[in-house]
Amino acid sequence: MKVKKIRGHSRKDVLLLNDMGLNVMNKVMSNKWIIAIYTLPALLLIGVLIFIPLVLTGYYGLMDWDGIGDMSFIGLENYKNAIVDGKFWSSAWHSTLLAFFSTLSLAIYLMISMILASKLKGADFLRKIYLIPMLLSSVAIAQLWIKVFNPTNGMLNYVLMKLGIENPPAWLAEPSFVLFAIFIPILWQYAGFYILIYYAALKNIPESIIEAAKIDGASPLQIAYRIKLPLIKGIVKVTIVLAIVGSLKYFDLIYVMTGGGPNGASEVMASYMYKLAFASNDFGYGSAIGFLLLIITLIVTVIIRKLTATKDEIQY
């Protein structure tokens, strides 16, 4: 206890005051009314706008409902439909593919971060440059990349034609290319984010460990693979969760770039759900898909969180 803070009392008075003060303090700081005033507004907001809607999504999923008229209870009919709905499965497959690509791309990000964190001058500046795309809205990113991919005037095909490729594809209009084409801006957008996380983790590794390895004659590659990587395993696992869960939720970018097309070739779970509800007015079935999305996201999060629980075992 810092006695100095209390003005105008002798040390003895203060000690006496401390006892009284602590009592007053405990009383004041556990006042139920004050606690309610401070927490209820925030609780009310997340309750009404986050938790109740989640419960309602599950509830609407059991209904046949166009969003305006009367609901009728149809039990698990919507979920049964989902199981045999080819469009749902193809959207789920596309989400899975994106999750897979995103996870693979972590290796590239990790490699860049390793180089960046190896005592290079200007690393701090570079990682800020890498972060810039992450700050733009998905709508702006989508619109920009629509232009990059433009078949006749886009930057990409201009370069390809200069390189002598005669008929470069119309990237976003080709069902076989579209998902890969969409992944490029995703890669671009999130690079700085993951590099930032890895860089911070790598900088936390004590210098002495690296020095000891160098003295023992370890090559830079060995240090990277055998020493640094195991030491940041916990963070790597966290980023895998982020990449997978994030991919399952992709929406804005795809909705703006292709609207799920051509012919459903880039439809993902969130965009399929959105279309069902707000384009086909099938709120019941849309809610069922939304509920599945929630369950899948939570299961994936919990599973990989279990894996990350090992991170405390690391000892330097």
Partner 1 sequence: MNRIGYYLLYVFLAIVALFQIFPIIWLFLFSLKDNREIFAGSPFALPTEFRWENYQKVWDGGIGVYFWNSVWITAVAIILTVVLASMATFAITRMQWKLSKLVLGLFMVGLMIPIHSAIIPLFSMFLKVNLIDSPWSIVITYTAYNLPITMMILLGFYYTLPREIEEAAIIDGCSVHRMFFRIILPMTGPVISTTVIINMIYNWNEFVFVNTFISSDKYKTLTVGIQNFIGQYMTDWGAIGATLIISVLPILLAFVFFSNKVVEGISSSAIKG
Site for partner 1 in 113-142 (CB under 8 A): 115-116, 118, 120, 126-140
Task: Give the one residue of 305, 306, 309, 310 binding partner 1; rule: CB under 8 A.
Answer: 305
Task: Decide: is 208 part of the binding site for partner 1 (CB under 8 A).
Answer: no
Which residue stretch of 81-89, 95-103, 144-152, 175-183 sits at the interface with partner 1 (rule: CB under 8 A)?
A: 144-152
Site for partner 1 in 17-36 (CB under 8 A): 17, 21-22, 24-26, 28-32, 34-35
Residues 240-259 that bind partner 1 (CB under 8 A): 241-242, 245, 248-249, 251-252, 255-256
Q: Name the minimum Å distance from CB 185 to partner 1.
A: 9
The answer to whether 67 and 283 are in contact (CB under 8 A) is yes
Q: What angle do CA 27, 31, 36 make, to 5 degrees?
A: 165
Q: What are the tokens at 171?
A: 């990237």
Interaction residues for partner 1, span 44-63 (CB under 8 A)? 45-46, 48-54, 56-57, 60
Spatial neighbors of 211 by CB under 8 A, at least 6 apart, are: none
The reply to whether 72 sits near partner 1 by the rule CB under 8 A is no
Cα separation of 14 and 1, whole Å? 10
**What does the alpha-carbon distance between residue 105 and residue 101 come to, in Å, rounded to a whole number?**
6
22, exposed or middle or buried, with CB in 10 Å at 0-12, 13-18, 19+?
Answer: exposed
Determine which residue in the list 105, 158, 168, 233 makes contact with partner 1, applying CB under 8 A: 158
**Per CB under 8 A, 104 contacts partner 1:** no
Does position 42 interact with partner 1 (CB under 8 A)? The reply is yes
For residue 226, which amino acid is it?
R
Kindly report the CA angle at 61 between 58 and 62, in degrees rounded to 5?
105
Choose between 29 and 176: whose C-beta lies nearer to partner 1.
Answer: 29
Least separation in angstroms between residue 76's CB and partner 1 is 18
With respect to partner 1, which residue has the nearer C-beta, 96 or 175? 96
- Is 309 among the residues that bind partner 1 (CB under 8 A)? no
Range 201-208, long-range pairs (CB < 8 A, 24+ positions): 201/232, 201/235, 202/113, 202/114, 202/117, 202/228, 202/232, 203/117, 205/231, 205/232, 205/316, 206/316
Segment 166-205, which members bind partner 1 (CB under 8 A)? 188, 191-193, 196-197, 200
Query: Taken in order 70, 72, 77, 79, is the CA torsion positive or negative?
Result: positive
> From the CB of 119, what's the least distance to partner 1, in Å?
9
